[in-house]
Amino acid sequence: MSNNLKFYINGEWVAPTGSATLDVIDPSTEEPFTKIALGTEADVDKAVKAAREAFKTFSQTTKEERLALMRKLLEVYNKRFADVADALSREMGAPKKLAHTAQAGMGTAHLSKMIETLENFEFEELRGTTLIAKEPIGVVGMITPWNWPINQIMCKVAPALAAGCTMVLKPSEIAPINAIIFAEIMHEAGVPKGVFNLVNGDGPTVGEAIARHPGVDMVSFTGSTRAGVLVAKAAADTVKRVHQELGGKSANIILPDADIAKAVKLGVEGMMRNSGQSCNAPTRMFVPAAKHDEAKQVAKETAEKLKVGPASSEESWMGPVVSEVQFNKIQKLIESGIKEGAEVVTGGTGRPEGLNRGYYVRPTVFAGVTDDMTIAREEIFGPVLSILPYDSEEEIVERANNTPYGLASYVQSGSLEKARKLAAQMRSGNVYINYPAWDAGAPFGGYKQSGNGREYAEFGLEEFLEIKGTVGYGAA
């Protein structure tokens, strides 16, 4: 029986206190395929009370006990892997291959890395006669997005479990089914009652209730910078820890000595992946002015080869964007680029040819973009790339850093020494040199309005811990 109209609280699937429901839309067809219940403040309160009670015992478990639980969780997650991937494909439009290899695959990768991290992590250290102890922060409220859903759920749940915290999760109401399956996985893995709780709902109701709740010790939020500001304000009265991974407008700097054809091709593909719905997507491509025309041609050829189609099709490289709201926002931003004088190299407004239903966006490349244009300033969160020409390497650092965001930067160069020198000057939480392989052990998070705190491996685990100094602990 489906649990889509229930919440997972205190180890049980329970009916919501209210009666409101929401259709879950398949963005490939624009048709609803199921419903979820929408929670209330009362549902959040029940979940928080369960988590607070469970914290009394779960916080006292040993590292070995938590490791055993997380290994069992990994086993059950891998057993339900296909269910998670299929749900992600249906509800947020990820093509089948992407849903399985990357979207659902991130869950396995992050949980495996956190198990490895916990195996080697020390929670206590004696410095002289003072004991430095790292203890679980308490009840964590988790608010996760729709663009990489299970990735962000696991980036919060895995370190919280490793730390000994208990939690209340509100996944995105746009892509909630993977989270319901995840709650079933947690239950089957034997997570003690109250340790993990799931309440579906919208941000203004359930999200705000979690952020405001005095029984929540920490809120971990991933989403837009606008929403992150609201979460922080709601959390301020109770002085809880606020951990945030927010928006981005990442620069991709192609230096004159780089292989321009290779760098542009990989940059376009990296930006368009997941339909451009990644906070760290390399959306601003800086190219030498002398190579601007060549970059345009390569970008055009690359973008036009990307097959756009239904998430269910094995042939689709890129699916739809997640919702009608998102589709309309992207269309308006593409229109702004045209109105402000950017050159449309390929793409533009409307759906791709042959697709008259579904939230499909044409892979769009703008060239001749200037720093003051809207498309160079705002986070579009769609398959829209801006190519910005530059005249000298001296100007590029200031221009690349001239944004309120600071999540990621990308540097392409034939000289590792040059790339490292430039990377050191980037005001961003991550810098990727020459499109490296993804690293689950690298800290992930941003400078400036891209958030605060870090995720992944020990950097993520530390966010869920408090530090206690017991002075005189080692005295004779």
Q: Which of 155, 208, 279, 463 is the catalytic position?
A: 279
CA–CA gap between residue 266 and residue 428 (Å, rounded)? 21
245 catalytic per annotation: yes
Q: Which of 173, 245, 379, 455 is the catalytic position?
A: 245
279 catalytic per annotation: yes
Token pair 């269309």 in the structure block, residue:
331
Q: Are 91 and 174 in contact (CB under 8 A)?
A: yes
CA–CA gap between residue 274 and residue 89 (Å, rounded)? 11
Residues with active-site annotation: 245, 279
